[in-house]
Amino acid sequence: MEEIDVIDDPIVKRIWEKIHSELDEEALEEIEEHVDHHLGENEDEYEHDEIDPEIYRTLEKALIEGHRLRIQYYAHSKDETTERVIQPYEIIDEPNGPYLSAFCELRNADRVFRLDAIEKILEVLPPE
């Protein structure tokens, strides 16, 4: 069974053990992204990294001009980096840090990305 590090409650762990094997890869990915999204609410568990000003400017420009982006993204819950092509929708300011709402071509679904987890913008692509 795959362990999610932030689960420390024994009841939650037992529930997770029961449902984990029943979930497909896409459902597991959604849960992991949800966990990533909410980890920042507790500063003891997850500190914010600085957001690269150049990345922020490129995101803002892509939002204005409708460009897609090929990004390198670090998923904290999996401790892995993936490459994704996204269509940004908006930057969302939340108490636990800014996020980017975007369509993710890898998952073929809308997703929310932590801005401080976008490691690089590899390419600016034309709108589809």
pLDDT tens, N- to C-terminus, the chain (128 residues): 444 444 566 776 677 677 777 777 777 677 766 665 555 444 444 455 788 999 999 999 999 999 999 999 998 878 899 999 999 999 998 888 899 999 999 999 999 999 999 999 999 999 88
Q: Quick one: which of 72, 78, 77, 79 has its CA closest to 119? A: 72
Q: Quick one: which of 87, 119, 96, 83 has its CA closest to 34? A: 96
Please report which helix (H) or strand (E) contains residue 30, including its range.
helix 25-39
- pTM for this predicted structure: 0.66
Displacement of CA 107 from its chain's centroid (Å): 12
The count of other CB atoms within 10 Å of the CB of residue 12 is 12
Please, what sign has the CA dihedral across residues 31, 70, 120, 101?
Answer: negative
Phi and psi dihedrals of 42, rounded to 5?
-115, 105
Domain spans, the chain: 1-128
